Amino acid sequence: MKAPVENEKTLNRDRHLSINEWEEEAKSAMEKKAYDYIARGSGEEATLQANRKSFSKYRISHRVLRDVSRIDTSINMFGKRISSPVMLAPIGVQTIAHPEGELAAARAASSMNTPFVVSTVSSYSMEEISKQMGSSMRWFQLYYSGNEQVAESMIKRAESSGYTAIVLTVDTPIMGFRESDHINKYSPVGEGAGSGNYFSDPAFCSLLEKPIIEDQAAALKKQYELFENPALTWESILKIRQYTDLPVLLKGVVHPDDAQLALKYGVDGLIVSNHGGRQLDHGVATLDVLEEICGVVQNEIPVLLDSGIRRGSDIFKALALGASGVLLGRPYIYGLAMDGEEGVKRVVQQISKEFETTMALAGTAHIAEINKTYLVKNNPEV
Ligand code: FNR
């Protein structure tokens, strides 16, 4: 990639940038294949586009003459107070955007009291990332390994290095077909950018015939073999429970019947997600299923949403339809690509500020006041 230091020089730090502009800046600064890997979706990108379009189906009907001189955006998450309902989604291979990758994102998250969900395929190990975060909230996203010992080891490492929840991603039994990566012949995981947690894992290393330093290609091949786990079922939740007492969230649920099953299996939280349109193409947009899922869950556990959040008003709409909070995906990676830790901070602060403005203008001073009565669905013809 072009050196991020160069990006930092060209970036005017005083100028306000919308999320779309951050993307444009990152696009022109990054190598095409890295930008495509981050920005693009699977198949013909129907789901990627649907994610954005679904937010435009609603308008906000504001209330007037309410005291909005103080806006409180804070929420409770598993007994902890966090300053806003925005979290950082698990995104792997972050060194393709910036050499400091997840370390910079972790520092930014920690400085803002924003929870960070760290990916299984992070460029740095979960322990190295954890060290950047003090006591700030972080969760570990698990791709449940095809090898049970590796799965167990990663879960236990997460608990002992200060992660306070396990986020099991369930929409990736196999990788989605991302055409641009095939055209570009690009696989950052295949190039070793997603090995932080594998190469530091004793259970993983014990499966290798030679030390990684002697045969990195074989280690990467093994990582790839263990990464996809198409045989994974609901029983995996019971196994996670044997390894840790941490709360378990499922990421990638979009069907109300799966929300029902999640309750049956005692899951502690749901993330309604379609992986930002990178997995099942022509899959449903997350906002379109959120209300029904929240109807099933009936506030028993938190329901978070991601995929397509680009504006403060998107956060408001998700909360109005029942979400407890949202995860921001690609946008913070564009900030990372342009300006490392500072870029992540600016992106998150900007969308949080937009959200605060939306709350004030809608006439809501507290998160608990946001509900469906503030939304009007557009005429579908419009
Ligand atoms: C992801 N996402 C993801 N999800 C996950 O559970 N584990 C992972 O390692 C990754 N890695 C990853 C890499 C890249 C480059 C992207 C863009 C996304 C999905 C991510 O957590 C989240 O669901 C989406 O990014 C949300 O959609 P938006 O906000 O990017 O539209």
Read out DSSP for 223-275? HHHHH--TT--THHHHHHHHH--S-EEEEEE--HHHHHHHHHTT-SEEEE--T
Across the range 250-276, mean pLDDT stands at 98
Query: What are the backbone angles phi and psi of residue 250, rounded to the nearest 5°?
Result: -105, 130
| Closest residue by CA, ligand 1 atom 10 | 91
Residue whose Cα lies nearest atom 3 of ligand 1: it is 91
Average pLDDT, the chain: 96
* Predicted confidence band of residue 14 (pLDDT cuts 50, 70, 90): confident
- In this predicted structure, the answer to whether residue 109 has a pLDDT above a threshold of 70 is yes
At residue 17, the pLDDT reads: 86
Beta bridge partners of 77: 80
pLDDT digits (tens, 9 = 90+) for 322-373: 999 999 999 999 999 999 999 999 999 999 999 999 999 999 999 999 999 9
Burial zone of 342 (CB within 10 Å; 0-12 exposed, 13-18 middle, 19+ buried): middle
Query: What is the band of 11 on the pLDDT scale with cuts at 50, 70, 90?
Result: confident
For a mutational test of ligand 1's pocket, the pick from 94, 170, 275, 279, i.e. the residue with the most ligand atoms closer than 8 A to its C-beta, is 275
Question: What's the pLDDT tens digit per position in 28-47?
Answer: 999 999 999 999 999 999 99
Q: Judge whether 343 and 333 are in contact, CB under 8 Å.
A: no
**Tokens 């709409």 correspond to what residue?**
317
Mean of pLDDT values over 147-164? 98
Give dist(CA 43, CA 45) in Å, integer. Answer: 5
Evaluate if residue 132 carries a pLDDT over 60: yes
From 330, 336, 344, 348, give the residue whose CB has the most ligand 1 atoms within 8 Å, as the site to mutate: 330
Distance 370 CA to ligand 1 centre (A): 27
Q: Which atom of ligand 1 is nearest to the CA of 93?
A: 13
Catalytic residue ranges: 275
Residue-wise DSSP of 310-343:
-SHHHHHHHHHTT-SEEEE-HHHHHHHHHHHHHH
Instruction: Compute the distance from residue 117 Cα to the ligand 1 centre, in Å.
Output: 10
β-bridge mates for residue 372, sequence order = none
Give the CA distances from residue 124 to residues 101, 143, 192, 278, 303, in Å, rounded to whole numbers and listed in that order. Answer: 8, 16, 11, 23, 28
> Stretch 3-32: mean pLDDT, rounded?
81
What is the reported pLDDT for 2? 52
- pLDDT confidence of residue 47: 98
- Is 319 within 8 Å of 294 (Cβ atoms)? no
Q: How far is the CA of 186 from the centre of ligand 1 (A)?
A: 17
State the angle between helix axes of 286-297 and 46-55 in degrees (0 to 180), rounded to the nearest 10: 70
Per-residue pLDDT tens digits for 56-82: 999 999 999 999 999 999 999 999 999
Q: For the segment 274-325, what is each residue's pLDDT rounded down to a tens digit?
A: 999 999 999 999 999 999 999 999 999 999 999 999 999 999 999 999 999 9
Q: Which helix (H) or strand (E) holds 157?
A: helix 148-160
Averaged over 216-232, what is the pLDDT? 95
pLDDT beyond 60 at 3 = no
Q: Which atom of ligand 1 is nearest to the CA of 310?
A: 29
In this structure, the residues whose C-beta lies within 6 A of any atom of ligand 1 are 37-38, 51, 89-92, 119, 121, 141, 169, 251, 273, 275-276, 278, 306-309, 328-330
pLDDT per residue as tens digits for the range 274-288: 999 999 999 999 999
The pLDDT, as a whole number, for residue 289 is: 98
Q: What is the pLDDT of residue 379?
A: 74
Measured from the Cα of 51, ligand 1's closest atom is 31
How crowded is the C-beta side of 264, counted as CA atoms within 13 Å?
8
Question: H or E stretch including 216?
Answer: helix 216-227
pLDDT at 352 (0 to 100): 97
pLDDT at 4: 57
Spatial contact of 74 and 101, defined as CB atoms under 8 Å apart: no
The tally of CA atoms less than 13 A away on the side-chain side of residue 182 is 8
CA 165 to chain centre: 14
Mutate to test the pocket of ligand 1, among 91, 166, 284, 326 (most ligand atoms within 8 A of CB): 91
> Are the beta carbons of 116 and 109 closer than 8 angstroms?
yes
